[in-house]
Amino acid sequence: METRIRQIDKNRIDENIIEEAAEILQNGGLVAFPTETVYGLGADALQEEAARKTYAAKGRPSDNPLIVHIADYEDLRKIAVNIPAETDMLAAHFWPGPLTMIFEKSPAVPYGTTGGLDTVAVRMPVDPVAAALIRAAGGFVSAPSANTSGRPSPTTAEHVAEDLNGKIDMILDGGPVDIGLESTILDMTVSPPMILRPGAITAEMFEEVIGPVDVDQTLLSADSVQAPKAPGMKYRHYAPKARLFIVEGDLREEILAIRQLSYAAHRKGKEVGIIATAETLPFYNHGIVKSTGSRENEKTIAKGLYGVLREFDEENVDTIYSESFAAQGIGKAIMNRLEKAAGHQTIPAADIVRRQKYRRILFVSSTDSARGPVAAELLRNRNLKQEYVIGSAGMVVLFPEPANQKAEAIMKSAGMSLEGHSSRQFDREDIQEDSLVLAVDGTIKEKLISEYGQINNLYTLNEFAEDDTEIPDPYGQPLPAYGECFEVLKKLVQKLADRLDSLAEGEI
Ligand code: AMP
Ligand code: MG
């Protein structure tokens, strides 16, 4: 079937396009349309045959009921019965909007639409294109998310086309959606009402209007043996092609852990995917990193999440690590979708972080112009099991200078270079819990102690490398002295690298 794609501007709705789409629906066809949550795959909710087509196009199990979308509150009474009293208040606050309520169904709603249930899920979307289409099509449009079952829900018309082009009659392209996560589902057939799926409308928001609501316990724990109350929640929805892991901890730990994991993969010649945010993007230097949005406004993360998951399906990665997000407000819905996408696979960030003792290695010499920078560059050239920020500093550096020319000549002859090096003074800031400070000789070590007091991880290079060879100071001597010093440093740095690798307990 040829899928007609029509652009539509929600601020200036073209009635001809709405008519064309509504006619398709009335004839039992399928039209994807924008809503504020995600794109919906619309069908006439009162035609059993149309529901069957919906399931076929999505490849969705037919016991997974559809949500019926209405445009006018009065219409609720035509499809639902025994509507509880709180409904008016909830509708007044949250409709039109990203809230789906479940009621006992009226006989008007076919079992095909409700997946065989005696209840019906109803939502009144705020998107003006959706509202216009629903009205023009007769008032009742069933619409699950317009994706292939098992893929992330579509937040743009392009996503819909990726999945359903050729399988449905029309796509109304109204641009990217606002929210990006599916509606909150609230079961009104129980008292107090119960949240079956978290969304942009949160438990706290309900509480302000009608008092406390319940939350389906299966949403709270991964290992619940009970089936969730919304039939659709039992399927592993939103699954990316790659294995997705959520790295959980405080943000700093998450970043460090993901850095370690992505470095370990990179070292094996593999690139992983990383789900990050605008704020954390700059901290990653390996892997394919994508930002879902900004931590300053979690709504942007909700909006970007599914698009990022889809983008990763186009990338050649078999593992994705995601940061986690605050479990409050919309963060709850974000984490719920992310956990489903990950099949609840999480990695405690602290467990990974703990495996790496040092993250910075600093070589300290007197002027930071020869031995220190040479050692640092030699170490950077080792393919270490873990990633370190490797640098050098001097005890007396009055102003920044390039590396000693003889040291540079020796490095060049060994196929390396100190180009770009600029000497700098050792600083109290260089003493950090995770930094290993290596003095090039005993005198420097003593000076460090006398100036800064006890430093936790301070050694001479040969101490730490467990080798007695002293590093000669070639300062002021001819080139061969620099060559000899280089050979000693090379041997010690190799031992240092072995020692560091042996500290890197186990492979990640
Ligand atoms: P989707 O339209 O893809 O967002 O999926 C609709 C969601 O609503 C699925 O998780 C369904 O299981 C849920 N749902 C629809 N109707 C009912 C109902 N009558 N009772 C419980 N959950 C429902
Ligand atoms: Mg869906």
Give the model confidence (pLDDT) of 152-163 as tens digits: 999 999 999 999
Contact yes or no for 149/232 (Cβ under 8 A): no
> Does the beta carbon of 182 lie inside 6 Å of ligand 1?
yes
The protein residue whose alpha carbon is closest to atom 9 in ligand 1 is 232
> Does the beta carbon of 232 lie inside 6 Å of ligand 1?
yes
> Does the beta carbon of 83 lie inside 6 Å of ligand 1?
no
The per-residue pLDDT for 62 is 79
pTM beyond 0.95: no
pLDDT in tens, 264-274: 999 999 999 99
What's the gap in Å between 229 CA and the centre of ligand 1? 9
> Does the beta carbon of 40 lie inside 6 Å of ligand 1?
no
What's the gap in Å between 424 CA and the centre of ligand 1? 63
> Which ligand has the shortest distance to the CA of 154?
2
> Does the beta carbon of 142 lie inside 6 Å of ligand 1?
no
Give how far Cα 195 sits from Cα of 101, 202, 211, 244, Å.
9, 9, 13, 26
* Average pLDDT value for residue range 375-397: 96
Which residues have their alpha-adjacent CB atom under 5 A from ion ligand 2?
145
Residue of 259, 239, 265, 260 whose CA lies nearest to 317: 265
Three-state secondary structure call for residue 344: coil
> Which ligand has the shortest distance to the CA of 232?
1
The per-residue pLDDT for 60 is 85
pLDDT over 90 percentage in the chain: 91
Residue whose token pair is 């690298």: 497
500, exposed or middle or buried, with CB in 10 Å at 0-12, 13-18, 19+?
Answer: buried
> Does the beta carbon of 80 lie inside 6 Å of ligand 1?
no
Specify the ligand 1 atom closest to the Cα of 105: 19
Tell me the one-letter amino acid at 481: A
What's the gap in Å between 143 CA and the centre of ligand 2? 9
